[in-house]
Structure 1
Amino acid sequence: MGNSGQIGTYIRPSTERQDDQHQRDSINSYIEEEGLPRDHVEQYVDIESGSSDEREQFNELLDAIKNDDVDHVVVWEISRISRRGATLQEFFDACEEHDVTIHITDGAVEKVKPDGQGRFVADIIGMVYQQERRQLIRRVKAGVKRAKDQGKWIGNVPAGFRRDDDGYLQPIIEPEDGEDSYFEIENAIQRLEGGDSFRSVAKSLSISRQGLTNIYQDDERRQWYLNARAEDDRVDDALDEIDIGEQR
């Protein structure tokens, strides 16, 4: 690579929960092995998904490339740049047009040069990543549909309920720390019906005042607690599992 030229490093974890330290270590080791001065390095870091083009740091790096402010880009692997084929091609084209070499520290291709060397393999890798993403989306959608068809609860669990080990909704009878029982929410809704303020009612609950307001203002959901009945069969089945009359 040589010892001159501005270097842009790009880092993006796969998810917000993942640590990017392994990417940083790999990139730093590469730069050290190449003998590059640290004052020539500009870091760009995003946490947004690689399927999104609304990544602030990625777009800043792309602008730097197009403005001829970057001579080399160092990334951990190609999928960190993007999992969208069109975006990846735009990035490759910009680097090629502005004489920027892409260095991949962990991948089947090590460099994509402005003269086209490594571009063919990088294009294939990009297509593989895109196909893997499509397959993942299909699997997730199929899994969600299958779970819903089985009556399992998908998404955020409503107040006063929990999801059991099999994925089915259950009313909370004996709450743990940070939980409100079904009957506490029921009592809260009844107090609101009686004219108590949201602020005073929410004080005794783990749920926020806004969360309580959202329940009360939702006509259908409010009936879950006032009448122990729901149009959603998953909720209705959960309420049928306990003898509401005896618990009250």
Structure 2
Amino acid sequence: MITVGYARVSSREQADNSHALEQQCDRIRNAGAEELFVDVESGSRDDRRQFNKLIDLVRKGQVKEIVVTRLDRLTRSLPTLRKTIDDLQKHNCNLRALDDSIDLKTAAGKFHLNMLGALAEMEVDRLSERVQHGWQHLRDRKVAMNSPFGYIKVNNQHQLDHNPFLCLIIGQCEMSKAAIAREIVDAFLEKKTLRQCLREINTRYGIQTFAHNNKPGEPKKGGRVAQGVFKFSNGGLSNWLRNPVLRGHLPYLRKDKNGRAELHLNTHPEQRLISDAEGKEIESILNRNREIKGYGSTALKYPCSGLVFCAECRSSCYSTSSVNNGYRAKRLGIPKEMNYYFQCKNWTSRSCSQKTMIKMEVVEAAVIDALIKKAAQISNISQTPEFSAEPESPETQKLRSQLFQLQQINSIAPNDAIKIAIANLESQITQLRYSLSQNQEINTISQELLLWAFSDPDLWKNASDDDKKRVYRELVEAVIIRDGQVVEIRLKV
């Protein structure tokens, strides 16, 4: 059992004081914490990842004390606090707050803890009330909020942003955000699809998306970077085109009794970017495209759909197809010969340089090959004597040593008390081994599925797509492609 520290800041606190988290961590380590868990989340949330991981360790009996700087760092919710305290007391785990006189071992400490928790929850509720009153005051005054691209807030009102924003190399022409926004609207009305509109704009302004460039030996960094001063995704462009601000209206996110967002009409009609007629046409185009092309569909049509990603921009790859004998099949009435590919979705909008497609059968062959090799590796390890048994924790080994000694004594001089002690030790060892097996449950299931599915490679030659989808999604995390080649396959086992 160890002493564990927990530090937390909200996103707002982190922005106001960038050293707040560092100060907490240093104080907690100096107080004797052997391990530290950190969250950057609101204290009223119950889905904090590191906090939940800490509570799981407490419930497993692996933590003897939790150290925090203040009680509100642990939680700002009184029900959560009470539940946490129950867990700590149930598993003999103490709580120490450096700035508060808290000790769960005394009645006064428990009372003080509940009082501080109630005060912290009241302060959170009061803060929420102040924020709500502030927002209501802004809505009553019809103050503009969250200006979309192409607009700027002036005297609490939305106005078109005509300030110089960028200079085009060709023609040395200065462009404002308002002018670019109008070009985007014109491009959509001309092309009539989101992807074609983005292709036009991204090509015109040289916008591309790529992954973080990592130096050799450095750990991989997540996320994507947009090369350019602005960038829209398909969904982002759709939301932007539908924004009422572009039509001269003022929206608020708060919904009325009928579930409709609050909307003030014609608050800045002289600053509208889209006319009423253009707005109706845009809505019609978007609705029609959604019906015809299935915009927004999440259906996974092919076995590897949803698992293939671009190495350049780390976006997912869409499926596409082509016909080998289209004219001949139509002329002779014979079946069409289809080819199926994966291609980076950002290429269609020209925001990624990866144009080359890769055949689906190439991707699937690489996946199956990787799974077969992994299955063989697991099979070889499982047959090795030193790996055949499950690893035991130091606590389990200590109990097993005591059990062996008692069994030796009992074999020489049998005694009922020794038999009861032996039974207790065996029960404790069983509980510890069960706790360890729970942690490995998900990985064990994946390994068993892998060994079962790929023990015979020929089994998958005639397998159905549904069977392949189920197995691939259970075992494969991602397939990374670049220049029409599979460069990496990440497995979950």
TM range (shorter): 0.7 to 0.9
Superposed displacement of residue 215, structure 1: 2.7
User: How has the CA–CA distance of structure 1 residues 231 and 119 changed in structure 2, closer, same or farther, with 3 Å as cutoff?
Assistant: closer
Q: Tell me if structure 2 keeps the 8 A contact 1:51–1:84.
A: yes
Residue equivalent to 2:321: none
User: How has the CA–CA distance of structure 1 residues 133 and 185 changed in structure 2, closer, same or farther, with 3 Å as cutoff?
Assistant: same
1:23 partner letter = Q
Residue equivalent to 1:44: 37
* Residues in 2 aligned to 1:229 and 1:85: alpha-carbon distance in whole angstroms: 45
Q: Tell me if structure 2 keeps the 8 A contact 1:68–1:98.
A: yes
User: How has the CA–CA distance of structure 1 residues 180 and 63 changed in structure 2, closer, same or farther, with 3 Å as cutoff?
Assistant: farther
Aligned residues: 220
2:199 partner letter = R
Deviations 1:134-162 (Å, cap 9, x if unpaired)? 011111111111111111123x3211112
Deviations 1:145-184 (Å, cap 9, x if unpaired)? 1111111123x321111223x543222011446x952232
* Residues in 2 aligned to 1:132 and 1:180: alpha-carbon distance in whole angstroms: 45
Q: 1:169 aligns with which of 126, 135, 158?
A: 158
Normalization by structure 2: what TM-score? 0.41
1:46 partner letter = D
Counterparts of residues 223-234 of structure 1 (less than 5 Å): 224=246, 229-230=248-249
Residue equivalent to 2:267: 237
- Greater relative contact order structure (CA < 8 Å, 6+ sep): 1
Residue equivalent to 1:98: 91
Residue equivalent to 1:209: 232
Normalization by structure 1: what TM-score? 0.77
* Residues in 1 aligned to 2:73 and 2:161: alpha-carbon distance in whole angstroms: 42
Superposed displacement of residue 238, structure 1: 3.5
* Residues in 1 aligned to 2:182 and 2:94: alpha-carbon distance in whole angstroms: 63
User: How has the CA–CA distance of structure 1 residues 58 and 51 changed in structure 2, closer, same or farther, with 3 Å as cutoff?
Assistant: same
Counterparts of residues 26-175 of structure 1 (less than 5 Å): 26-31=27-32, 41-107=34-100, 109=101, 111-154=102-145, 156-164=146-154, 166-175=155-164
Structure having the higher Rg: 2
Q: Which runs of 5 or more structure 2 residues have no equivalent in the other structure? A: 167-174, 208-228, 252-262, 275-493
Identity over aligned pairs, percent: 23
User: How has the CA–CA distance of structure 1 residues 229 and 59 changed in structure 2, closer, same or farther, with 3 Å as cutoff?
Assistant: closer
Residue equivalent to 2:391: none
Taking only aligned residues, the RMSD between alpha carbons, in angstroms, comes to 2.8
User: How has the CA–CA distance of structure 1 residues 173 and 72 changed in structure 2, closer, same or farther, with 3 Å as cutoff?
Assistant: same
Please give the secondary structure, in 1, of the residue aligned with 2:159: strand
1:240 partner letter = E
* Residues in 1 aligned to 2:90 and 2:248: alpha-carbon distance in whole angstroms: 64
* Residues in 1 aligned to 2:187 and 2:265: alpha-carbon distance in whole angstroms: 22
Deviations 1:54-84 (Å, cap 9, x if unpaired)? 0111111112112211111100100011111
Residue equivalent to 2:8: 12
2:240 partner letter = I
* Residues in 2 aligned to 1:88 and 1:17: alpha-carbon distance in whole angstroms: 21
Superposed displacement of residue 115, structure 1: 4.3
Q: Which runs of 5 or more structure 1 residues have no equivalent in the other structure? A: 32-37
User: How has the CA–CA distance of structure 1 residues 127 and 175 changed in structure 2, closer, same or farther, with 3 Å as cutoff?
Assistant: farther
Q: Tell me if structure 1 keeps the 8 A contact 2:248–2:267.
A: no
User: How has the CA–CA distance of structure 1 residues 76 and 153 changed in structure 2, closer, same or farther, with 3 Å as cutoff?
Assistant: same
Q: Tell me if structure 1 keeps the 8 A contact 2:8–2:40.
A: yes
* Residues in 1 aligned to 2:158 and 2:250: alpha-carbon distance in whole angstroms: 14
Deviations 1:96-129 (Å, cap 9, x if unpaired)? 222221111123x2x3223434111111111111
